[in-house]
Chains A and B, each alone.
Chain A
């Protein structure tokens, strides 16, 4: 028991891990170049961040990735459910795609407008690849053969009260229209385990609105608990040829619903297979 706790909080990067990160980044430098990109990606900074994130990813959240075989060497619009109150899921998915894949890549996570204006965090995230969630940014990055990570549930997904955990909220349509205009397949992702980072949450929506915040979670804990996390990567979903970016809402809605259902299904199946942790034992 004690050993388990010590292992959980062992947040040092081992020499083997360091070697692995070095190897991955030498590949990434050759793909993305060593200088900053126009959106502020700075691989040298990203590397030093990963050196801190990797032990958390591996030892604290004990992340497992399923469905790596579904990822080919091409750009995707990676579409995930959004859970866990703070956007830790984005950081973990990005780490998985950078370190765990055969062909590493930096995901360009589309973030909230609120986020990019934050001091320190906004710049830190941009250096790691995050980008303001804007249609133009998304299209330009896909044009440059980069993969983007979107959370079409937006704040509604991440900031749920306990009773709504693991219920995929309805998606907005923008991501699908961009996928149609750029012809990039959608790669569905389900993250299981992140809701229990903060297991008891009440969303103070009225107060958040008054304070001008996107969400205000009232939680029993404000440090995320070490809930084991599983990332499921589904099969790519190619946008149908007969639709285009200006097709009517009616025509695209059932495709969006289908993607929601795929992610909900992966989540439900993932919940059956997840590892035990005191906060998720019913």
Chain B
């Protein structure tokens, strides 16, 4: 064989988490050839020989060519368009990219005999509701869009991926990961922003419990999913749970302490200081704590490198 290297495709490769994953995979496995694609340019070029980055548009033709030209062994789908700035006006665009895009990727993975598919979803799919039990299992109903229809794409993409996963489980191994809040200096999601912004509202009337995972640990779990985790849906979270007030106090930035019940009416004014998506108010009011038992069945040793406190302290590097 001219090229015996196993090829791995990372979709959404310009993102912070994808970059750490690329770095781990390429360093630990010199015999892997990693192709990263994104519609955005990458911040900095990878110097490693076994990494290649392509800035392409996510169209059917482009993708199909990519799959045809390379016999991918595994595909990471990390290209979910962030809902950090979600609002009703960009819902159509997100639905198109997240639902149609995912459907396109899954279809091609099957057509071109990919062996392993790893899809990044989020714990947001469960929704933050006052009647959530603590430690939600993977089979809990996805209720995110009950109060916030603008999160429809998030739950729909997850459901699309999981339905596809069970339907094709004998042909392709698929892992769907639903991580808790990923935080770290390279991540720009709404929770990292919330924690590292001064004078963001912090409830005096609510204090939900949170789980945080450091970006490096999350990237490491993505990398280990390749060989160590079989088909299934997995919540990704540490055992540790911390209240939002405690997390804010570890970071140490001043916040605007107010009753969150007043926040919705004040949203227009508050949004001038802190541009937040509407659904985030629910997440800083009510807990959505997930159960990690399923994941721990497969990742027994060295599950996480950073404790919650360390992950929060490392977030200060972003300041």
Contact = CB atoms under 8 A, between A and B. Distances in A.
Interface of A: 35-40, 42, 113, 116-117, 119-120, 122-123, 126-127, 131-132, 134-137, 140
B131 A116 contact: yes
The interface centre, meaning the residue of B133, B209, B287, B289 with most chain A CB atoms within 10 A of its CB, is B133
B130 A119 contact: no
21 contacts: A36-B241, A36-B246, A37-B241, A38-B209, A39-B134, A42-B243, A117-B130, A117-B286, A119-B260, A122-B130, A123-B203, A123-B205, A123-B206, A123-B207, A126-B207, A132-B131, A132-B133, A135-B133, A136-B135, A137-B134, A140-B135
Given A119-B259, A120-B205, A123-B205, A40 B130 contact: no
Contacts of A123: 203, 205-207
B133 A137 contact: yes
B242 interface: yes
Contacts of A120: 204-205, 259
B134 A131 contact: yes
Contact of A38 (B203, B205, B206, B289): B289
A33 to B, nearest CB: 11
Query: Which secondary structure dominates where chain B touches chain A?
Result: loop
Interface size class of B (residues with CB under 8 A): 20 to 34
Given A119-B203, A123-B207, 14 more contacts: A38-B135, A38-B209, A39-B134, A39-B209, A40-B243, A113-B130, A113-B131, A119-B260, A122-B206, A131-B134, A132-B133, A134-B131, A136-B133, A136-B135
B209 A36 contact: yes
A86 B261 CA distance: 23
Closest 9 CB pairs of A and B: A117-B130, A119-B205, A38-B241, A136-B133, A134-B133, A113-B131, A120-B205, A123-B207, A116-B130
The interface centre, meaning the residue of A39, A113, A137 with most chain B CB atoms within 10 A of its CB, is A39
A165 B289 CA distance: 39
B140 to A, nearest CB: 9
A120 B107 CA distance: 49
A119 B131 contact: no
A40 B207 contact: yes
B114 to A, nearest CB: 36
A38 B211 CA distance: 9
Contacts of B204: 120
Contacts of A127: 207
Contacts of B287: 40
Contacts of A39: 134, 209
Nearest to A121: B205
Contacts of B206: 119, 122-123
Contacts of B132: 132
B134 A38 contact: yes
Contacts of B133: 132, 134-137
Contacts of B243: 36, 40, 42
Contacts of A113: 130-131
Contacts of B286: 117
Contacts of A132: 130-134
B207 to A, nearest CB: 5
A265 B97 CA distance: 65
Nearest to A112: B131
B238 to A, nearest CB: 11
Contacts of A136: 133-135, 137
A126 B285 CA distance: 13
Contacts of B137: 136
Interface in B198-228: 203-207, 209
Nearest to B209: A40
